[in-house]
Amino acid sequence: MKASVRQYARSVMELVADKSEAEAKALIAKFVVFLHGRQDLNKVEAITEELGRLYEIENEEIKAELISARPLQEAAKKQLVAYLQKRAGVDTVNLQESLNPDLLGGFILRYNGLVIDGSLKNNLLKFKKQLSN
Partner 1 sequence: MSSTKDFIVEQIKRQIADFKAEVEESSVGRVLKISDGIALVSGLTEAMMSEILLFKSAHGEVAGVALNLEENLVGAIILGEFANIKEGDEVVCTKRILSVPVGEALVGRVVNPLGEAMDGKGALNTTEFYPVEKIAPGVITRASVNQPVQTGIKAIDAMVPIGRGQRELIIGDRQIGKTAIAIDAIMNQKGQNMKCVYVAIGQKESKVAEIVRKLELAGAMEYTTIVLAGASSPASLLYIAPYAGCAMAEYFLDKGEDVLIIYDDLSKHAVSYREISLLLRRPPGREAFPGDVFYLHSRLLERACKLNAENGGGSITALPIIETQAGDISAYIPTNVISITDGQIFLEPDMFYKGNRPAVNAGLSVSRVGSSAQIKAMKKVAGKMRLEAAQFRELAAFTQFGSDLDEETARKLERGKRLYEVFKQDQYQPLSVDKQVVIYYSLINGLVDNIPVEKVREFEAGLYKYMDLNSDVSKLIIEKKELDAEIEEKIKTVVNNFKETLDYLIS
Q: How far is the CB of 69 from partner 1 (least distance, A)?
A: 14
Q: Which is nearer to partner 1, 6 or 36 (CB)?
A: 6
Per CB under 8 A, does 127 bind partner 1?
Answer: yes
In angstroms, rounded to a whole number, what is the distance separating the alpha carbons of residues 95 and 93? 6
Per CB under 8 A, does 32 bind partner 1?
Answer: no
In angstroms, rounded to a whole number, what is the distance separating the alpha carbons of residues 73 and 70? 9
Q: How far is the CB of 6 from partner 1 (least distance, A)?
A: 7
Per CB under 8 A, does 13 bind partner 1?
Answer: no
In angstroms, rounded to a whole number, what is the distance separating the alpha carbons of residues 50 and 108? 24
Contact region for partner 1 (CB under 8 A) — 14-22, 29-37, 69-77, 116-124? 116-124
Tell how strand 92-99 and strand 61-68 pair up: parallel
Q: How far is the CB of 74 from partner 1 (least distance, A)?
A: 19
In angstroms, rounded to a whole number, what is the distance separating the alpha carbons of residues 16 and 23? 8
